[in-house]
Amino acid sequence: MSKSEFASVHYSKYLQLDKILNAQDLRSVEVGKPAHDEMLFIIVHQAYELWFKQLGHELESVMDMYRDLDMDEKEVFVAVNRLKRCVEIMKLLVDQVRIIETLTPLDFLDFRNYLLPASGFQSFQFRKFEVMLGLKVAKRTTYANKDYRGPFTKEQYEELTNLENSDSLLQQVEQWLERIPFLEFKEFDFLSDYKKSIDHMYEEEEKAIKSTNIDEKHKKFRLEMLKANQSYFDHVLDESKHNEAVENGKSKISYKATLGALLINLYREEPILQLPYQLLATLVEIDELLTSWRQRHVQMVMKTIGMKMGTGGSSGHSYLKKTADSHGIFSDLSNMATLMIPRSELPKLPDDLKKELGFYFTNIN
Ligand code: HEM
């Protein structure tokens, strides 16, 4: 008899609760010195791993969509929704640090030694998530020059290596941005019009600083800052300077992709660009939340073990702090804020381009 699609299923069986709820074996109980708080320690980690699994599931599906160069633009809607789901999960993961923070240093010491050498270093799902987003081995902060893939099985090692060697979400988004049309449209040349606007914006700011009644020393200081800010535009918008920045690791995405991201950010209100803008903003949020998690984890580590070394053998607090400061992925997209100019300075789009960027029923007048 074949199984009916609609046969009734029991709640516990469907969720395999017999497996999940019997998967908390306390090491302290095993060694005959039960520690009350070890249950919390295990359950919090298991909850994290379940959510990492969901994050991986969402990310894999989004990356499958972007792998296809002929991706149907309608799929961007699905991708944005799934990434927004990741954002909500990650907010929960940041908040969940509060629960493990109720574990005091003394209570942790009741069972900490029984865990050696287990460590978050061995979380395969966390490493996969980082690599899929775009953290490459060359950019990693490591401790004692150890390979981050070291703690894993041969199969897991290979899986991480293959992921490293294939396109990450960052690279996929970079390629997608490079395909954004409208940078040049008939007589409209986005870059040259944008550069004129920047020059005008800086001339106005310079005039404003010069005409204020602050003392000469502070005026000079402000004018120098303004110049430094202006040079950031060159670094991003001059193709050869940008390529240099990519080579020395200051920028992660190409010149063309940067211009695409800039156009989307500046004209985000145009109907066709609303969804691409949401995609970029969601990626920035994911990056921010991953950094927030790293920062909350490192604060919690300080409270729980102070400056002691980690069970995985790293320096603990100082290693984790470095990762929080240096493992950002979508920094080029967050830096777009520096390149924004007031709406009043925005190059005006020609009517036929505005029509292309609008919905069928948009009235351009
Ligand atoms: C009492 C609670 C915790 C302490 C004291 C702690 C401590 C540490 C330390 C010292 C490290 C550095 C590696 C090492 O030398 O072991 C580390 C890494 C890590 N921990 Fe925790 N941790 C705690 C809870 C958690 C929780 C609840 C998670 C959630 C999954 C987690 C995930 C990680 C991950 C993913 C890493 C690797 C981070 C990286 O290399 O960038 N930790 N932890």
Atom of ligand 1 nearest to the CA of 119: 16
pLDDT at 328 over 70: yes
Site to substitute for ligand 1 among 320, 322, 325, 327, most atoms within 8 A of C-beta:
320
Q: Which residue has the higher pLDDT, 233 or 112?
A: 112
Distance CA 190, CA 308 (A): 54
**Distance set, CA 316 to CA 121, 122, 151, 223, 321 (Å):** 11, 14, 17, 43, 9
Distance CA 61, CA 96 (A): 25
Distance CA 254, CA 183 (A): 15
In this predicted model, what pLDDT tens digit does every residue of 54-73 receive, in sequence order?
A: 999 999 999 999 987 777 77
The confidence band for 364, taking pLDDT boundaries of 50, 70 and 90, is low
Q: What percent of the chain has pLDDT over 70?
A: 98
Mean pLDDT throughout 335-364? 83
291 CB less than 6 Å from ligand 1? no
Q: How far is the CA of 9 from the centre of ligand 1 (A)?
A: 38
The confidence band for 362, taking pLDDT boundaries of 50, 70 and 90, is low
Mean pLDDT throughout 320-339? 95
Atom of ligand 1 nearest to the CA of 123: 35
- Average pLDDT over the chain reads 93
In this predicted model, what pLDDT tens digit does every residue of 278-317 receive, in sequence order?
A: 999 999 999 999 999 999 999 999 999 999 999 888 999 9
SS3 287: helix
The confidence band for 360, taking pLDDT boundaries of 50, 70 and 90, is low
Q: How far is the CA of 120 from the centre of ligand 1 (A)?
A: 4
Distance CA 105, CA 98 (A): 15
The confidence band for 143, taking pLDDT boundaries of 50, 70 and 90, is confident
Mean pLDDT throughout 244-270? 94
The confidence band for 235, taking pLDDT boundaries of 50, 70 and 90, is confident
Q: Which of 266, 239, 272 is nearest to 347 (CA)?
A: 266
In this predicted model, what pLDDT tens digit does every residue of 101-140 receive, in sequence order?
A: 999 999 999 999 999 999 999 999 999 999 999 999 988 9
pLDDT at 196 over 60: yes
The confidence band for 363, taking pLDDT boundaries of 50, 70 and 90, is low
- Whether 133 contacts 329, CB under 8 Å: yes
The confidence band for 207, taking pLDDT boundaries of 50, 70 and 90, is very high
pLDDT at 32 over 90: yes
Q: How far is the CA of 118 from the centre of ligand 1 (A)?
A: 10
100 CB less than 6 Å from ligand 1? yes
Q: Which of 120, 119, 117, 142 is nearest to 129 (CA)?
A: 120
DSSP 238: S
SS3 306: coil
pLDDT at 160 over 80: yes
* pLDDT for 233: 85
Residue with tokens 């699905």: 78
Long-range contacts (CB closer than 8 Å, 24 or more residues apart) made by 72-78: 76/275, 76/276, 76/279, 77/275
The confidence band for 253, taking pLDDT boundaries of 50, 70 and 90, is very high
Q: How far is the CA of 281 from the centre of ligand 1 (A)?
A: 28
CA end-to-end span of the chain: 67
Distance CA 107, CA 170 (A): 41
- The tally of CA atoms less than 13 A away on the side-chain side of residue 202 is 18
Q: What percent of the chain has pLDDT over 90?
A: 77
Residues with Cβ within 8 Å of 191's Cβ and at least 6 positions away in sequence, in order, are 183, 237, 259
Q: How far is the CA of 314 from the centre of ligand 1 (A)?
A: 10
Alpha helices, DSSP H, located in the chain? 11-14, 17-20, 27-30, 38-67, 75-95, 97-100, 105-109, 124-133, 154-165, 169-178, 190-211, 216-237, 239-247, 255-266, 271-305, 317-326, 331-334, 351-357
Q: How far is CA 6 from the centre of its chain?
A: 40
Distance CA 327, CA 314 (A): 17
290 CB less than 6 Å from ligand 1? no
* Protein residue closest via CA to atom 33 of ligand 1: 120
313 CB less than 6 Å from ligand 1? yes
Distance CA 214, CA 116 (A): 61
- HEC string of 41-55? HHHHHHHHHHHHHHH
Asked whether the bond before 117 is cis by omega within 30 degrees of 0, the reply is yes
Mean pLDDT throughout 74-80? 92
Q: How far is the CA of 91 from the centre of ligand 1 (A)?
A: 18
Q: How far is the CA of 87 from the centre of ligand 1 (A)?
A: 21
* Protein residue closest via CA to atom 5 of ligand 1: 301
Q: Which of 80, 61, 341, 317 is nearest to 200 (CA)?
A: 341
A 10 A CB-CB count for 35 gives 19
